[in-house]
Amino acid sequence: MSLQKVLVLTPVKDAETHLAAYVAGLERLSYPREALSLGILEGDSSDGTADAIGALAPRFAARFARFCFRQKGFGFRMPASVPRWAPAYQRQRRSVLARSRNHLLMRALREEDWVLWLDVDVVGFPAELIETLLSYDRDILHPHCVREAGGETFDLNAWADKGRLRMADLRGRGGAVRLDAVGGTVLLVRADIHRDGLIFPPFPYGVENIHIRPVHPVWGRGEIETEGLGIMARDMGIQCWGLPDYEVIHA
């Protein structure tokens, strides 16, 4: 059986302080170099993220079979005094993040078999992360993203039962569990499903799907970005899965 090719994709913005841990995590991965590629998209940063990534290019070239770096600004910045979860900016922020993911996907994906979405501020994961996720052979698979081992769920975008069940609620069930929506902190997607049209909706999607939350407090009915991807997958006849007992650590 031939080695599956994997493309790691990471959209970044104002990520300079996270890059050292991000690169260290990538370099710890045990997956074979010849089957592993990396794509990064930087946009709208106000720090030295872009220059720092450029300086890291030799290290990326040494670790990956192919390295793709793109820049794309979307003209959106949160006010300095406002937290990123502020309701007034959530729809616009999540829409821009969806567009950045889609842009990176379209520019970076080539002949790979899988896409591993990996956020730059995920700082702890096993060296065998890719081998473990691939071993489940699920079209869409999301490990449990927490702030500390055994702690509460950090990535709240992964859920089941119309948002009533988070990953922490699903612990102890053994192996993979069915999800209706996923997060993007660490997310494995079979590449052909992206090629077939699965994207991160930058607008509320799935208003007629029975698996969406009844009403979102910010944008009403429908799901955006990673949750929207999960609902779109359901509309395509594809099941999302989660690993509540397999944890990755967020900064």
Q: Give the pLDDT of residue 1.
A: 58
Stretch 174-183: mean pLDDT, rounded?
96
Per-residue pLDDT of 8-19, as tens digits, reads 999 999 999 999
Per-residue pLDDT of 31-85, as tens digits, reads 999 999 999 999 999 999 999 999 999 999 999 999 999 999 998 877 777 776 6
Please name each of the domains of the chain with its CATH number: 6-250 (3.90.550.10)
Run of H or E residues at 188: strand 186-190
**pTM to 2 decimals?**
0.95
3-state secondary structure of 150: coil
- Residue from 142, 125, 235 nearest 188 by CA: 142
CB 194 within 8 A of CB 238: no
> What are residue 188's DSSP bridge partners?
116, 141
CB 213 within 8 A of CB 157: no
Residues, the chain: 251
Stretch 183-192: mean pLDDT, rounded?
98
Per-residue pLDDT of 71-116, as tens digits, reads 999 988 777 777 766 777 888 999 999 999 999 999 999 999 999 9
3-state secondary structure of 134: helix
Tokens of 48: 């030295």
> What proportion of the chain, given as a percentage, has pLDDT over 70?
98
CA–CA separation, 72 and 153 (whole Å): 31
Count other C-beta atoms under 10 Å from residue 92's C-beta. Answer: 15
DSSP letters, 19-81, are HHHHHHHHHH--S-GGGEEEEEEE-S-SSSHHHHHHHHHHHHHHH-SEEEEEE--------TT
Determine which of 86-90, 142-146, 151-155 has the lowest per-residue pLDDT on average.
Answer: 86-90
Q: CA dihedral in degrees (12, 18, 24, 27; nearest 10)?
A: 0
Q: Which residues contact 226 (CB under 8 A, 6 or more apart)?
A: 157, 158, 181, 182, 183, 184, 187, 200
CA–CA separation, 191 and 115 (whole Å): 6
5 falls in which pLDDT band (50, 70, 90)?
very high
The residue assigned the tokens 């509460």 is 152
3-state secondary structure of 115: strand
